[in-house]
Amino acid sequence: MFDRRVVITGIGVVSPLGSQLETFWGRICEGFSGVRRISKFDPSGFACETAGEVIELDLEYFLSKKEQRRLDEYSHFAVAAGDMAVEDSGIDPGKEIAERFGAIVGSGVGGLHTLEIGHDALVNKGPTSMSPFMIPRMIPNMASGLIAIRHNLRGPNYGVVSACATSAHAIADACRIIRCNEADVMLAGGSEAAVCPIGVAGFGCMRALSKRNDSPETASRPFDKNRDGFVMGDGAGVMVLEELEHAKKRGATIYAEVAGFGMTCDAHHITQPAEGGDGAGRAMKLAMASAEINADEVGYINAHGTSTALNDQIETAAIKEVFGETLARKLMISSTKSMTAHMLGGAGCVEAAVCAMAMRDGVVPPTINYETPDPDCDLDYVPNIAREVKVDACLSNSFGFGGQNICLALKRFN
């Protein structure tokens, strides 16, 4: 039962770098920044005035005006990414496979802007003024439910909430379900639309966000000595995960194999990673063991790389501890958050998709805005320019507030 292999057969991405997979991937390879001054509201007076906003999405292609009004923006993104993943995979989620086809799509914070609007109505107009759609709009499992309703998916269905590790956890859970023969196909991923006043103010008051407001495109600079915080981003990633034989029988195109994963907890602090990166390191070790790959077989790591001082330093230390100094210095590591900003609950799936595309095309994406080396971050972060090189195995790291760590191990499909 547990020898069932899981492969990626469809990918949908909604991001600050575009909402078509090949457009998104082309801009990643070009080192294009999706960070701009916030336009969704006036950010004047906020500590951080920059974000990665979704500006290239024809929402009416996916949802009617009525449907849009009833749903939070994070659900808009999830539905669009889910539709694109299904279309990309070429699968027909018809009646014959409906009970063996599920969805796990989460969100780190859910409908934060809906909560903001509802609170304003309650305070200013009273308790009967709130929309009856407020609760279903804001709850973070709604994206998964909507996708299932849309595609008649009658298999396992729920949402995952683990902050910035959300969509990577969704992928791991979906893989387990397929491996355990509880489903043959799963949609998995995450979505976020937290670029709203309460979200930007909340993270800003934590002193977690960059204040490089005079140069938005260079604000997200993972591993650079002059990094000063992360940049929030909106977006979603959803992928079709499929049991290998099921995919082969229908002649599906296979991007990569999700060969393993490792999940740990720091049990240390509500926001800060554990000193030395113990939790992150154990997640990487468990992922490689699960995937049955050796450390010297890993060619690329898509780092969590948030552009915060402590996270980047500790992730670097964890990589050195896992791979050893010599091997760690041979690894190619990059943070695509330098381009997409940090899509929170959507980040893990989008970054796993980057790993799959990197193996498909033999291109390792760069970390842009890397200008000044940091003595505490002294590995090969593929600075500023993508590299053409064949990679057979990748790790994708995602770490969330609460000390929740996950590493996905992807292999080139053979």
Residue 59's contacts (CB-CB under 8 Å, 6 or more residues apart) are 68, 76, 80
Annotated catalytic residue within 76, 342, 394, 407:
342
DSSP 260-312: EEEEEE--S-SSSPPGGGHHHHHHHHHHHHHHT--GGG--EEE----S-HHHH
Residues 6+ apart with CB under 8 A from 4: 178, 179, 181, 243, 244, 245
Nearest CA to 7 out of 168, 181, 190, 246 is that of 246
**Does the annotation count 342 as an active-site position?**
yes
Name the active-site residue from 304, 355, 377, 407. Answer: 304
Q: Do 238 and 105 contact (CB within 8 A), yes or no? A: yes
- Give the separation between CA 222 and CA 200, rounded to whole angstroms: 19
Are the beta carbons of 34 and 15 closer than 8 angstroms?
yes
* Amino acid type, 243: E
CA dist., res. 378 & res. 373, Å (int)? 7
DSSP state of 61: G
Is residue 149 within 8 A of residue 94, CB to CB? The reply is no
Within 13 Å and on the Cβ side, how many CA atoms surround 311? 25
Listing DSSP states for 312-324 in one string gives HHHHHHHHHHHHH
DSSP structural state of residue 372:
S
Tokens 């468990």 found at: 286
Sign of CA dihedral 347, 350, 353, 354: negative
* Helix ranges restricted to H, 71-151: 73-89, 112-125, 134-138, 142-151
Q: Which candidate in 164, 175, 196, 349 is catalytic?
A: 164
Do the beta carbons of residue 74 and residue 110 sit within 8 Å? Answer: yes
Yes or no: say if 376 and 314 are a contact pair by the CB < 8 Å rule. no
Q: Is the alpha carbon torsion for 36, 301, 22, 147 positive or negative?
A: negative
Is 304 an annotated catalytic residue? yes
Instruction: Tell me the catalytic residues.
Output: 164, 304, 342
